[in-house]
Structure 1
Amino acid sequence: MPKPSVAELRPVVHPSGLKDRRSGEHWAGRIYMREISLRWTRHLVNSRVTPNQLTYLMIVAGIAAGAALLVPGLAGAVAGALLIQLYLLLDCVDGEVARWRKQTSITGVYLDRVGHYLSEAALLVGFGLRAADLFHRDGATTQWGWAFLGTLAALGAILIKAETDLVDVARSRSGLPAVQDEASVPRSSGLAVARKAAAALKFHRLVGGVEASLLILAAGVADFVHGDLLFTRIVVCLLAAIAVLQTLLHLVSILASSRLR
């Protein structure tokens, strides 16, 4: 069977509204990764690789990104950032292959969510261990407090995703349809303004895999120039603080909106 062209693939695997999803499409997907993924997808749609197998590979890439951060020096930060880009690519490709073959499934959606939880948590835990100087690059002992902060950031990243996902769980168990985007606007005008400000600044995205990997890479470059782990440790503190704050704010935002009604 001949490979489909990009023009043939696009309307099927990128249906109308895909790139405009408020909470489901990453900015990197809209800007560049969806165009790259199309070129990969056209080579995979006629292969024996299944969409779920691609999702498993996505999970492996994401967890490997966290493990790569244990490599001391700039090399570890670069490897982590590149593996997160591979993770994002596979996150696009698995769904595209599934849509082309008409093999979308609840299992695939579930694995995709699990993959996001595991990968983003692994990245932040790995970053905390990097800051802890696991291999004594910057001192004589491992400083486990930094590992704790990385784990705290990972826990926050997981809870933020769980808070969102549990809205649909709660609605489903109550016999209600999936939540609509407009329902996410808080009923309180003050909270609505605060939410819009947070959305404009997008600071909450910094604990996401792509954004965190770029921050980690920037910190790695700065550490390489400075000769220690100062910037890595600053960024670990920043991500932990953002994760804790955003976990609380996101919960308040959900409870104050009509998503649970």
Structure 2
Amino acid sequence: MEAELPKNHGPHDEVRPGRRSASVADIRRYGQPPGLKDRRNEEHWAGRLYMRSLSPYFAWVFLRLGLSPNQLTYLMMLSGVVAGVVVSLPVSGDASLWTALGGALLIQLYLLLDCVDGEVARYLRQTSVAGVFLDRIGHYLSEVALLVGLGFAAQGGWESGGYVELGLVAALGAALIKAETDNVVVARAKSGLPADPVGGDRALRPRSTGIALARQAASMLRFHRIIGAVELSLLIAAAAALDVVLGTDTPAALRVLTVAVAAVAVAQTLLHLVSILASRRLK
């Protein structure tokens, strides 16, 4: 969620309490500047709903432990990747529900650390380009790991098979979608243009009315959300619970979910590419 390099709010020479003297209120003031929760394209709904209310308490702890923002980002990466590994563990029956729940909890930790690293960076005035880069890589790794883990869970073990391949397809799609977004900035920078196109949100809209309507409809349906780490982890837990209730020999619900995320990832990759090319973002 810290994809932008945040600006410090308040005078740069304003004296702030040190690491061990900072209060939760101080962290909210300096680590969560006004408008943070309103960044619709950057702030996750779960952050706005509950995690930004919890994160300052953990930021308070991490400040006292002496952890740097980048160290917290590395922990975020680790929790996301381990979530994918846990989900993929070759278990059956009720045990599959516990691995799914473990993955969901680790993704919540990933989300928490994604909030905390930026708050600590802003509080310490240690925001950096390297921090933004690591944050983006952490999102890539976590989503890819979870989708691959789902493929193995649907297959029923650490072995090759069609569901593993579908998980890999979904993981590739998720990575390509992020790469398409990030490469808009790369293309503009290489062309000597500012990162953000003139026109703000209007520049994001396709010039074709038909494509614009299709983009709006897809956005309203929110199908793309199911390949996001937070949403997917909850869906995996729900599917695993359904498989336990059904008592089938194969993880039927997890397999249906795997097919769905692969289809959405492929469709979203193509639609996102068309949407970018049809907009003013590359002008």
TM over 0.5: yes
Deviations 1:182-226 (A, max 9, x none): 311111111111111111111111101001111101101001111
Distance 1:17 1:84 in 2: 25
After TM superposition, the score normalised by the length of structure 2 is: 0.87
Other-structure match for 2:163: 146
1:69 aligned counterpart, secondary structure: helix
Question: Would you say 1:70 and 2:88 are equivalent positions?
Answer: yes
Other-structure match for 1:218: 238
Contact 2:188 2:195 in 1 (8 A): yes
Give the letter aligned to residue 235 of structure 1: L
Q: Deviation at 1:234?
A: 0.2
Following superposition of structure 1 onto structure 2, how do residues 89-238 of structure 1 map, counting pairs within 5 Å?
A: 89-134=112-157, 142=159, 144-179=161-196, 180-228=200-248, 229-238=251-260
Q: Deviation at 1:58?
A: 0.5
Deviations 1:168-193 (A, max 9, x none): 11111111112233311111111111
Unaligned stretches of 5+ residues in structure 1: 136-141
Distance 2:77 2:123 in 1: 22
State how many pairs are aligned. 255
Unaligned stretches of 5+ residues in structure 2: 1-17
Distance 2:207 2:22 in 1: 47
2:178 aligned counterpart, secondary structure: helix
Contact 1:207 1:239 in 2 (8 A): yes
Give the letter aligned to residue 273 of structure 2: L
Give the letter aligned to residue 55 of structure 1: T
Contact 1:133 1:143 in 2 (8 A): no
1:79 aligned counterpart, secondary structure: helix
Distance 1:235 1:257 in 2: 32
Question: Would you say 1:252 and 2:274 are equivalent positions?
Answer: yes
Q: Deviation at 1:143?
A: 5.8
Distance 1:46 1:178 in 2: 36
Distance 1:69 1:35 in 2: 28
Other-structure match for 1:243: 265
Contact 1:69 1:130 in 2 (8 A): yes
Deviations 1:105-140 (A, max 9, x none): 1111111111100110000001101111116xxxxx
Following superposition of structure 1 onto structure 2, how do residues 31-42 of structure 1 map, counting pairs within 5 Å?
A: 31-42=49-60
Contact 2:88 2:151 in 1 (8 A): no
